[in-house]
């Protein structure tokens, strides 16, 4: 099979993993050196495909031959998808050639399970080793970690990779048992635990380098009946137990010859978007999951989770932006972390007014009911229900996450 055919099949097979981050690696430079590649700390998206997702890494499977039968996966063994398999050399050359032309920041390599978890992991590690030790490649490498692989192989993967990830795929043990019979939540957690322990050790400067960009995981949304509350609870469990950098949420999209165990319809992408928003509120703003999902088990689709929270906590508002602390200001719908910081900074010079917020490009309509500034205070308080109706995002914006047609 020609290289181009392999690339087409194995890029197609890898597109369901939504992670494309290329940030978090330590700064490296090849200026005046043999070899190739740099990492600047922040990621660079080198292109975007018409699905709106960025292309930062060459994201491919080493092979899509797979002996597992995960029902949601196009590469499951019972699927009649065309199969291909790269040679180690081919992946190395593709990565270098793409990198030189400035198409990518590096490589994201995953694989179907062939022969055994250890054998599969060895192939991935060998690609990374070749890139680092033979080609002196200093770009970004993300390796998928096969949960049942030997911890020594995981240690070796972390020596070469900037990020490792183990996909949990589904939020509950019951769903994993049902939809991914060969996978096992216990071994997935054990692999994440091994990675976390190595990450902890690598804090010591004398310890060997280990996956400086940390670890991440992915959950498929809408392939099983799990609600948003269990998805976010699982995410929080993983963040704190294994110090994950990111949990990615991927709305399930139907696959060819879909088995009857998974839905035929795609999950709404807006749901995926709301989960990302809620996840960010938990990680960045100090929200607790029960605050965001108090009565309901699902996040609202029509309004964002911070607004939904604020509408149930009307007694906390309006917030006086000239008095409140930064954390509370950041909890006001329409004010992000950066603007909260700027507002507090501005208070050192003068009292914050309506025009200041407007210049900070805050969405004033959204903000209005929730704030007090030097020259503005909301009039009579409307009911939350009315407010909600008024603040629903206009359909044009909703369309952003729907089809472009």
Partner 1 sequence: MSTRHRYEIADFEAWRRIARELLLAGVPPHDVDWLDVSDSGSHTLSLFESAGGDVSAARAPAMKPNSSADLFSAADVSGADHQQMPSSDVAEHAAPVLRVSRQCLDVLRSAAMFRDAGRWALLYQALWRWQQGDQAAISPADSDGARIHVMVKAVQHEIHRMHAYVRFRETQGERPAGSPQFIAWFEPVHEILRAGAPYFRQRMGRASWMIATPGGIAQCHGEDIEYGPPIPQPPPIDDAGESLWLSYYQHTFNPSRVNARVMTQHMPVRYWKNLPEGKLIPGLVAQANAGSQQLGQTDSVGARKGAPIRVSAARAMPVREAPRTLDTCTRCELGRHATQGVAGIGPRNASIMLVGEQPGDQEDLQGTVFVGPAGQLLNQALEAATLSRDAIYLTNAVKHFKWEPRGKRRLHKTPAQQEVDACRYWLEQELTEVAPKVIVTLGATALRSVLNHARIKLQDQRGRPLRHGDTWVIPTWHPAYVLRVPDPRARTDALADIVAALRQAQALSESDVVAG
Subset of residues 315 to 354 that bind partner 1, contact rule: CB under 8 A: 342, 345-346, 349-350, 352
Per the document, the length of the chain is 405
Closest residue by Cα to residue 176 from 186, 164, 165: 186
Return the range that interacts with partner 1 (CB under 8 A); candidates 65-73, 292-300, 315-323, 325-333: 65-73
Note whether 243 binds partner 1 by CB under 8 A.
yes
The rounded distance, in Å, linking the Cα atoms of 169 and 62 is 19
Tell the smallest beta-carbon distance from residue 326 to partner 1 (Å): 15
The rounded distance, in Å, linking the Cα atoms of 298 and 288 is 15
Note whether 360 binds partner 1 by CB under 8 A.
yes
Which are the contacts of 256, defined by CB distance < 8 A and separation ≥ 6?
74, 79, 81
Note whether 301 binds partner 1 by CB under 8 A.
no
The rounded distance, in Å, linking the Cα atoms of 287 and 180 is 32
389-392's contacts with Cβ under 8 Å and 24+ in sequence apart are 391/303, 391/307, 391/333, 391/365, 391/366, 392/302, 392/303
Between 213 and 387, CB nearer to partner 1: 213
Binders in 120-149 for partner 1, by CB under 8 A: 136, 148
Residues touching partner 1: how many (CB under 8 A)?
A: 101
Binders in 371-400 for partner 1, by CB under 8 A: 399-400
Tell the smallest beta-carbon distance from residue 132 to partner 1 (Å): 14
Between 162 and 387, CB nearer to partner 1: 162
Binders in 42-61 for partner 1, by CB under 8 A: 44-55, 58-59
Closest residue by Cα to residue 314 from 393, 388, 235, 222: 388
Between 208 and 259, CB nearer to partner 1: 259
Residue 403's CB is within 10 A of a number of other CB atoms, namely 6
Between 236 and 392, CB nearer to partner 1: 236
Return the range that interacts with partner 1 (CB under 8 A); candidates 150-158, 159-167, 220-228, 236-244: 236-244
Tell the smallest beta-carbon distance from residue 225 to partner 1 (Å): 18
The rounded distance, in Å, linking the Cα atoms of 385 and 396 is 22
Selected from 173, 202, 322, 374, the binder of partner 1 by CB under 8 A is 173
The rounded distance, in Å, linking the Cα atoms of 271 and 251 is 8
Note whether 285 binds partner 1 by CB under 8 A.
no
Note whether 4 binds partner 1 by CB under 8 A.
yes
The rounded distance, in Å, linking the Cα atoms of 303 and 309 is 10
Note whether 16 binds partner 1 by CB under 8 A.
yes
């Amino acid at each position: 099979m020609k290289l181009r055919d392999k690339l087409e099949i194995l890029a197609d097979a890898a597109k369901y993993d939504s992670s494309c981050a290329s940030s978090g690696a330590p700064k490296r430079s090849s200026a005046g050196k043999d070899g190739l590649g740099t990492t600047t700390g922040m990621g660079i998206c080198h292109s975007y495909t018409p699905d709106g997702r960025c292309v930062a890494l060459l994201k491919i499977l080493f092979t899509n031959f797979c002996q597992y039968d995960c029902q949601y996966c196009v590469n499951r063994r019972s699927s009649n998808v065309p199969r291909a398999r790269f040679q180690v050399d081919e992946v190395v050359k593709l990565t270098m050639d793409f990198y030189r032309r400035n198409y990518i920041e590096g490589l994201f390599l995953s694989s179907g399970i062939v022969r055994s978890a250890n054998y599969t992991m060895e192939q991935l590690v060998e690609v990374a080793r070749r890139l680092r030790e033979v080609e002196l490649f200093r770009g970004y490498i993300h390796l998928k970690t096969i949960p049942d692989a030997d911890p020594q192989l995981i240690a070796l993967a972390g020596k070469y990779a900037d990020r490792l990830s183990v996909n949990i795929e589904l939020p509950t043990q019951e769903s994993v048992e049902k939809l991914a019979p060969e996978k096992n939540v216990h071994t997935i957690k054990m692999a994440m635990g091994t990675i976390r322990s190595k990450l902890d050790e690598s804090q010591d400067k004398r310890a060997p380098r280990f996956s400086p960009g940390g670890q991440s995981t992915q959950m498929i949304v809408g392939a099983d009946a799990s609600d948003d509350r269990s998805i976010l609870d699982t995410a929080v469990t993983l963040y704190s137990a294994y110090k994950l950098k990111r949990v990615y949420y991927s709305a399930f999209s139907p696959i060819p010859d879909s088995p009857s165990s998974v839905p035929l319809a795609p999950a709404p992408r807006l749901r995926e978007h709301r989960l990302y928003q809620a996840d960010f509120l938990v990680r960045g703003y100090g929200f607790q999951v029960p605050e965001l999902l108090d009565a309901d088990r699902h996040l609202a689709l029509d309004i964002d989770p911070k607004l939904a929270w604020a509408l149930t906590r009307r007694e906390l508002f309006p917030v006086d932006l000239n008095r409140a602390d930064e954390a509370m200001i950041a909890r006001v719908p329409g004010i992000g972390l950066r603007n909260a910081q700027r507002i507090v900074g501005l208070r050192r010079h003068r009292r914050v007014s309506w025009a200041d917020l407007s210049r900070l490009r805050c969405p004033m309509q959204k903000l209005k009911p929730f704030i007090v500034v030097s020259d503005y205070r909301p009039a009579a308080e409307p009911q939350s229900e009315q407010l909600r109706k008024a603040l629903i995002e206009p359909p044009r914006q909703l369309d952003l996450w729907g089809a472009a047609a």
